[in-house]
Structure 1
Amino acid sequence: MSQGLIQGLADKYTISNPPRRDFLKIAATVSATTAGGMLLSISLPALSQSKQTQPYSELETGKDVLAPNGFIKIDTKGEVTMIMPKVEMGQGVYTSIPMLLAEELGVDLQTVKLEHAPPNEKLYADALLGAQVTGGSTSIRALWEPMRQAGAVCRSLLIAAAAQQWKVAESACYAKSGVVYHDASGRTLRYGELVKVASTLPVPKQVALKDPKDFKLIGTAAKRLDTPDKVNGLAKFGIDAHPDNVKFAVIATSPVFGGTLASVDDSRALKMPGVLQVVKVDNAVAVIATNTWAAKRGLGALDIQWNEGKSTAVKTSDLVNDLREASKKPGAVAKKQGNATSAYKKADKTLSVEYEQPFLAHATMEPMNCTVEVSASGCDLWVGTQIPTFAQGMAAKTLNIPVEKVRLHNFLIGGGFGRRLEFDGVVQAVKIAKQVKGPVKVIWTREEDIQHDMFRPYYFDRISAGLDANGKPVAWSHRIVGSSIMARFAPPLVKNGVDPDAVEVSAEPPYDLPNLYVDYVRVEPRDVPTAFWRGVGPTRGTFVVESFIDELAHLAKVDPVKYRLDLLGKTPRLKNALQLAVSKSDWGKPLAKGQGRGVSVMHAFGSFLAMVVDVTVNDQGEVKVDRVVSAVDCGMTVNPDTVIAQIQGGVIFGLTAVLYNEITIEHGRVQQTNFNDYRMLRINEAPAIDVHLIKSAEAPGGIGEPGTAAIGAALANAVFSATGKRIRKLPIGHQLKT
């Protein structure tokens, strides 16, 4: 999921109050193209005013529970439960979002219990994304006001109940730490004691929120609520789901894209201890057993024949040639400002280069899994998913049953990165479970996961610029060629042939560029499935823009930092971040042979980032990243510790990809299989990472993806500083050794 989706929705509609006719049109259009539907809403979900669409009761109403909206309930014991509309996948939202609620509700953070929200677009659609989705670095941005309103509304009801009971003015009462106080009389009432009366009062649509200067919790470093259970093993991920009498399945999917199952001899497998059943679906075969090891051994005993089809001819080099050839023709115009062609012809100096970025897998720490039971009453799904309503809708469609008969039980996620924005695994698991009596846990091995992922697209960029006599860019032209994920994920957002995600950052560089032309050529990689990967558009766009601006600085013979600062007049927050990052680094300090220092900046997801990277490159071309210094302006921070952790994690994730990772294809098959040939950054290779947060009164920006997006170009520029070699094709490690 990317900022392109968010911006596409925000540009077309006033999210807080879309025209009714347009609201209905977009909701109907997008619902028709995505399972489960999408809708735009920022209103607080009021339980009393909306029908519940979930097939099982997760939300309680009545006099023994105060539940004025879909986010919160308080019982007569005073226990506060927050219904979490987002999914925790390591990004820290199970702490930062409760902080929003607790701040306005007036309770201690540690007292807030959490429950997963059931699939329900009406109640839990992300106001920025228009669907019940966790992605696009939107969690805090989307819930910044709604979650605070939820807490404030509940607090106002409790105060009103106390004032009514004491027969005093509400203004004479206040709430703190789960207690309502009336100082004039010295009386107090705990929240639980007020629930019955408060639940009978009319629910206000909106109440005044705290002034930020009065925040007691927001902006402080809070310990993560999910850490203890993750340490002691009590935390439940999708792979931990264990319904009664569960069986276990391991899959073999056609090794060739688009291939189907021809036949399978299962006679040997069925004789093996623990093997119960062999299930065939259109493009795969699964062994069902009493445990995973027995299923895996049974799978190895199968004699499988595949109909490999035409995709056996697909290979990476041909796919790249497709992109290269397509890049020679004009594309759909994403941005036109001034006259870049004319200015280019009059430039004092010019530069034209090409950049390539490979297919990438997600390789989530928790292997892909889904537990399913298909019964006469419907279907139960136990899964960690970023898209609960989409997963629920696709399961219903696969089984041809009403959506309300699919009961989805969401779990913690051991790494999403966009992979769990897809529902292909749910569909395959449902097809298998349809043939099995009782619940079955389907687990994809690491090999199946990597070789049958939905991959970050391979992108090919042509970019050129012309400089005046002072080295300033007077012309900038950028052609982006690659797959359109948005055309599959949210077709209405692709306008006039432009995928907003594919061109993000590229179409709106942060620099002062008087003559700018950016176009996009859509080329799908034959049968290779593509998907979002931790901020596809900003990640790949920032790499190209920030690598190229560095090349222009070198051509102009100007320090790369000074060159950027001189061009950031229209983006003062980014300029400020760059100045801070440089001041905290050793920029300008001489370096030894083989050492280099590089810089990059990024504006996306509503946040502003600058990074300085120090590297050492040895004679064998091996890159050691020594230090990363980052300055971050993400607006008002809810939990500074979470922001710092997200930047650190994003840097590690990005370094891994830029240094080592690529998915290559030969004979229609993915060549990589596991972490031996799709390697991760090791702990001894991790650099020191210094993160400096800029205090801001602006609304919060997103932070889950910016670290990954910003690191690649800074690293490539540092490698150039150390070696004199420009990195225009990733991964870096491969380029330096060839």
Structure 2
Amino acid sequence: MSTHSPSSTTRLKTSRRRVLQAGGALLLATLWPTARGRAAQATQAGTGMLVEDVATPFAPNAFIRIAADNTITLILPNIEMGQGIYTSSVMLMAEELGIDPFAVQIEAAPPGGGAEITGGSTSIMTEWLPLRQAGAAARTMLVQAAASHWGVAPESCTTANGAVVHTPTGRTVPFGDVAEAAAKLPVPKEPKLKDAANYTLIGRKHHRLDSQIKVDGTARFGMDVQVPGMKIGTVAACPVQGGTVRSMNRNAALAVNGVHAVLVTDNKDTVCVVAEHYWAARKGLKALHIQWDFGKNAAITTQTIYDDLHAGLNGPAIVANAKADAPGVIGKSGATYTATYQQPLLAHSPMEPINCTAHVRPDGCDVWAGTQVAERARDTAAEITGLPASKITVHSQYIGGGFGRRLEHEYVTQCVQFAKQVPYPLKIIWSREEDITKDRYRPAYVDKLTAALDDKGYITALQHRIVGPAVVARWDPPELTKDGYDEDLSLATVVTPYTYPAYRLEFARREAPGITTAWWRGVGGTRGLFVVEGFIDELAARAGADPVAYRRAMVQNNPRALAVLERAAADAGWGTPVPKGRARGVALQFAFGSYMASIAEIEMPSPDEVIIHRVTAAVDCGQVINPDQVIAQIEGGLIFGFSAALYNEITLENGRVQQQNFNTWRVMRMNEAPRRIDVVVMPSKEDPGGIGEVGTAAAAPLLANAMAAAQGRRYRSLPLLSARNTEGKE
């Protein structure tokens, strides 16, 4: 995705580096291009040092700081939300610099330049070259400084354990002792990188650097923020989008012990009760007895949205991608096949509910938040307070689950609006009910595919129509194509392991009324893969072919896809008998720059019960940084995706979201999780692909195809255990 939804093809190249000297320290700033090409300036966190604006279309994105006391700090634009980026990023830099990753301190980069966006499985893809180059440049300069001090050739020196080593004599000098001298040297334009054969960190298992602080409780998430004098607020927004407060009992709320204030947003759609602690705020909010004017969206239902989507299957549409004359081939074909798929609205429901802390003063504003878009958090605070961006400080925290939810910043807007009305720091905490009912949802979509087939049942032409919202139209309007297409929807639809002689992708844009749609752990990839892999499986069944063999024939010219398919099939025992009552399903994908084949072995004691006995996956994500983290991401992504695929759907009645907490928004329990997940990481010399959303994208098609094998009928609607499927309807 790009910055709006970073794609699997994103590749950013380092184009300029700068060294700044500060108090005997070496500060190496790596400047990377951003998707929009904005020049910027940023203040280095905690030092007050200004990284000067450069009259080029680049922005600060990563820094290495080596202090005189030998403290080594990596300042990252990507935020940690459980995906392990703080470990893998350090490994990239440490590999070239010659240090133990556990010796590195990490700081979140301050906003500035548009690069601080974490999403779309792009962190490693974008950091792979720049962070290694930054480490190599720093190493080269430190070696040169030490060699000059000793009067020896730089070629006779190396680095290890945070020191420069003179190999012939064994002399060592800590980085900090030569940092000031190194800072005066020119930055190498093309620092020599290690050969992969000499890697000691990259490609090897490594414990996560943040494990200890998460276990002992010292890692600070947004919910953990404590500021002197801070008060706690909790909110209630109108349950129907667009509605406003009609009346409330403000005095009753203020009468609750510990309550300090009752606040309302500028547009009067949300109320906040502020108190000494959260429980008092909750009691005060309940005492308000708010009456709402629901507005124009009060009649909207889920069926309203689905009816509009299905209406878009006919009529005008954008031709987003075309190869040859697919409609002409289909029109003349003696054999065609058509299927329509439907996918629901989905909530994010991270374990850490939405929260934000802000302190608005006449001379500045501080914001503490777990955010995937620190720059947007800064900018919205500047807009609300009227302060210049330079007076806004965003303190990025660890995120207790993002999944795309914290690519949004409306909760920061809300918090700053409320904090502007009080003289003290204010922390806003949403209840779980508020978090689910006022989420920004993964869109609902309807897809229709029609294929022309040859005499063996293989595709000669494919026509695919997508009907649904364009998230980027709201999130980053300039990224919408000139004819109105959201290119995120091409992920796993246009770019797949397969090729077709003729192809046509159409997009009929239909924005859902009464809700806001957003990114959700791989909108395009998760959405597209369910449709494409379900359709491929149906074509294999129509042809009377084995699903793996059918796919194998279609990817003979794609060696990476073929390799993962063959490995997954072999490891899962595909083609061997399964125990009585069980069935297998397969999915093959290329998304987020990575290939994966996965096979599920399931049992269905009844049409509305699925037991997942085993999942086998083979993944080729290019050069692996930390194999353990790749496996963990696939395992976690699959389970996250299985919850959504089996159970989850946001529904509306009278404009209100019906699901409110985990009693109605079901999350897969431990006893429901796969009994066994086997992941093999394929060796590869390709540049790294993304991995955070790969497992999630596989989950729905994998289960749908296994369930079809078990039940003898297709599953074209999500969630898979909805009444639409269990009653035999599609």
Q: What is the letter of the counterpart of residue 554 of structure 1?
A: A
1:325 correspondence with 2:311: yes
Task: Indicate if the aligned counterparts of 1:3 and 1:501 stay in contact, CA closer than 8 A.
Answer: no
Unaligned stretches of 5+ in structure 1? 19-36, 62-67, 126-130
Determine the C-alpha separation between the residues in 1 that align with 2:41 and 2:104: 26
Alpha carbons of 1:593 and 1:70: their partners in 2 closer, same or farther (altered >3 Å)? closer
- Per the alignment, in what secondary structure is the counterpart of residue 587 of structure 2? strand
1:132 match: 116
Q: Indicate the RMSD between aligned Cα atoms, in angstroms.
A: 2.2
Alpha carbons of 1:17 and 1:522: their partners in 2 closer, same or farther (altered >3 Å)? farther
Alpha carbons of 1:186 and 1:336: their partners in 2 closer, same or farther (altered >3 Å)? closer
- Per the alignment, in what secondary structure is the counterpart of residue 452 of structure 2? strand
Determine the C-alpha separation between the residues in 2 that align with 1:478 and 1:238: 43
Determine the C-alpha separation between the residues in 2 that align with 1:482 and 1:39: 25
Choose which of 86, 92, 109 in structure 2 pairs with 1:94. 86
Choose which of 668, 691, 694 in structure 2 pairs with 1:706. 694
1:196 correspondence with 2:188: no
Determine the C-alpha separation between the residues in 1 that align with 2:347 and 2:643: 12
1:407 match: 393
Determine the C-alpha separation between the residues in 1 that align with 2:242 and 2:236: 14
Determine the C-alpha separation between the residues in 1 that align with 2:3 and 2:183: 39
Determine the C-alpha separation between the residues in 1 that align with 2:630 and 2:469: 31
Determine the C-alpha separation between the residues in 2 that align with 1:368 and 1:644: 28
Determine the C-alpha separation between the residues in 2 that align with 1:133 and 1:174: 35
Choose which of 293, 310, 320 in structure 1 pairs with 2:279. 293
2:215 match: 231
1:22 match: none
Q: What is the letter of the counterpart of residue 164 of structure 1?
A: S
1:661-700, Cα deviation, whole Å (9 max, x unpaired): 0000110110000000101000111111110010001110
Determine the C-alpha separation between the residues in 1 that align with 2:486 and 2:62: 34
1:28 match: none
Determine the C-alpha separation between the residues in 1 that align with 2:606 and 2:36: 55
1:381-423, Cα deviation, whole Å (9 max, x unpaired): 0101000001100111122221111111000000000000001
Choose which of 508, 514, 523 in structure 2 pairs with 1:536. 523
Task: Indicate if the aligned counterparts of 1:370 and 1:441 stay in contact, CA closer than 8 A.
Answer: yes
Alpha carbons of 1:608 and 1:2: their partners in 2 closer, same or farther (altered >3 Å)? farther
Q: Which residues of 2 match residues 197-216 of structure 1 at below 5 A?
A: 197-216=181-200
Q: Which residues of 2 match residues 250-329 of structure 1 at below 5 A?
A: 250-281=234-265, 282-329=268-315
1:429-483, Cα deviation, whole Å (9 max, x unpaired): 1111111221111001010010000000000011111211111111211100000
1:29 match: none
1:591 correspondence with 2:578: yes
1:469 match: 455
Q: What is the letter of the counterpart of residue 641 of structure 2?
A: G
Choose which of 148, 152, 159 in structure 2 pairs with 1:168. 152
Task: Indicate if the aligned counterparts of 1:483 and 1:524 stay in contact, CA closer than 8 A.
Answer: yes
Q: CA deviation at 1:334?
A: 1.6
1:377 match: 363
Q: What is the letter of the counterpart of residue 173 of structure 1?
A: C
- Per the alignment, in what secondary structure is the counterpart of residue 313 of structure 1? coil
1:177 match: 161
- Per the alignment, in what secondary structure is the counterpart of residue 261 of structure 1? strand
1:637 correspondence with 2:624: yes
Q: CA deviation at 1:579?
A: 0.7
Task: Indicate if the aligned counterparts of 1:54 and 1:119 stay in contact, CA closer than 8 A.
Answer: no
Q: What is the letter of the counterpart of residue 719 of structure 1?
A: M
Q: CA deviation at 1:38?
A: 6.2
Identity %: 45
Task: Indicate if the aligned counterparts of 1:581 and 1:611 stay in contact, CA closer than 8 A.
Answer: yes
Choose which of 645, 648, 656 in structure 1 pairs with 2:635. 648
- Per the alignment, in what secondary structure is the counterpart of residue 606 of structure 2? coil
2:712 match: 724
1:76 correspondence with 2:60: no
Q: What is the letter of the counterpart of residue 558 of structure 2?
A: T
Q: What is the letter of the counterpart of residue 120 of structure 1?
A: G
Q: CA deviation at 1:170?
A: 1.1
Determine the C-alpha separation between the residues in 2 that align with 1:468 and 1:60: 64
Which segment is superposed worse, 170-179 or 182-191? 182-191
Q: CA deviation at 1:338?
A: 1.9
Q: What is the letter of the counterpart of residue 250 of structure 1?
A: T
Which segment is superposed worse, 357-366 or 329-338? 329-338
Which segment is superposed worse, 194-203 or 272-281? 194-203
Alpha carbons of 1:395 and 1:100: their partners in 2 closer, same or farther (altered >3 Å)? same
Task: Indicate if the aligned counterparts of 2:4 and 2:475 stay in contact, CA closer than 8 A.
Answer: no
Q: What is the letter of the counterpart of residue 395 of structure 1?
A: A
Choose which of 409, 421, 425 in structure 1 pairs with 2:407. 421
- Per the alignment, in what secondary structure is the counterpart of residue 77 of structure 1? coil
1:592-615, Cα deviation, whole Å (9 max, x unpaired): 454211000110111001110111
Determine the C-alpha separation between the residues in 1 that align with 2:223 and 2:638: 27
List structure 1 segments (4+ residues) > 6 angstroms apart after TM superposition: 1-4, 14-18
- Per the alignment, in what secondary structure is the counterpart of residue 596 of structure 2? strand
Task: Indicate if the aligned counterparts of 1:511 and 1:569 stay in contact, CA closer than 8 A.
Answer: no
Alpha carbons of 1:69 and 1:651: their partners in 2 closer, same or farther (altered >3 Å)? closer
1:356 match: 342
Alpha carbons of 1:593 and 1:3: their partners in 2 closer, same or farther (altered >3 Å)? farther
Determine the C-alpha separation between the residues in 1 that align with 2:90 and 2:49: 17
Determine the C-alpha separation between the residues in 1 that align with 2:116 and 2:3: 16
Q: Which residues of 2 match residues 473-622 of structure 1 at below 5 A?
A: 473-495=459-481, 496-619=483-606, 621-622=608-609
Alpha carbons of 1:38 and 1:163: their partners in 2 closer, same or farther (altered >3 Å)? closer
1:566-610, Cα deviation, whole Å (9 max, x unpaired): 011342211111111001002112234542110001101110011
Determine the C-alpha separation between the residues in 2 that align with 1:654 and 1:143: 26
Q: CA deviation at 1:3?
A: 9.0
- Per the alignment, in what secondary structure is the counterpart of residue 706 of structure 2? helix
Q: CA deviation at 1:72?
A: 1.0
Determine the C-alpha separation between the residues in 1 that align with 2:501 and 2:654: 46
Determine the C-alpha separation between the residues in 2 that align with 1:149 and 1:567: 39
Determine the C-alpha separation between the residues in 1 that align with 2:496 and 2:3: 14
2:126 match: 142
Which segment is superposed worse, 593-602 or 235-244? 593-602
Q: CA deviation at 1:8?
A: 10
1:31 match: none
Task: Indicate if the aligned counterparts of 2:248 and 2:290 stay in contact, CA closer than 8 A.
Answer: yes
Determine the C-alpha separation between the residues in 1 that align with 2:148 and 2:50: 24
1:661 correspondence with 2:651: no
Q: CA deviation at 1:307?
A: 1.6
Q: CA deviation at 1:660?
A: 0.5
Task: Indicate if the aligned counterparts of 1:510 and 1:570 stay in contact, CA closer than 8 A.
Answer: no
Determine the C-alpha separation between the residues in 2 that align with 1:599 and 1:41: 41
1:627 match: 614
Q: What is the letter of the counterpart of residue 490 of structure 1?
A: D
Determine the C-alpha separation between the residues in 1 that align with 2:127 and 2:605: 47
- Per the alignment, in what secondary structure is the counterpart of residue 501 of structure 1? helix
Determine the C-alpha separation between the residues in 2 that align with 1:220 and 1:361: 35
Unaligned stretches of 5+ in structure 2? 17-32, 52-59
1:715 match: 703
Alpha carbons of 1:152 and 1:232: their partners in 2 closer, same or farther (altered >3 Å)? same
Q: CA deviation at 1:279?
A: 0.7
Determine the C-alpha separation between the residues in 1 that align with 2:117 and 2:4: 15
Which segment is superposed worse, 99-108 or 170-179? 170-179
2:22 match: none
Task: Indicate if the aligned counterparts of 1:480 and 1:503 stay in contact, CA closer than 8 A.
Answer: no
Q: CA deviation at 1:5?
A: 4.3
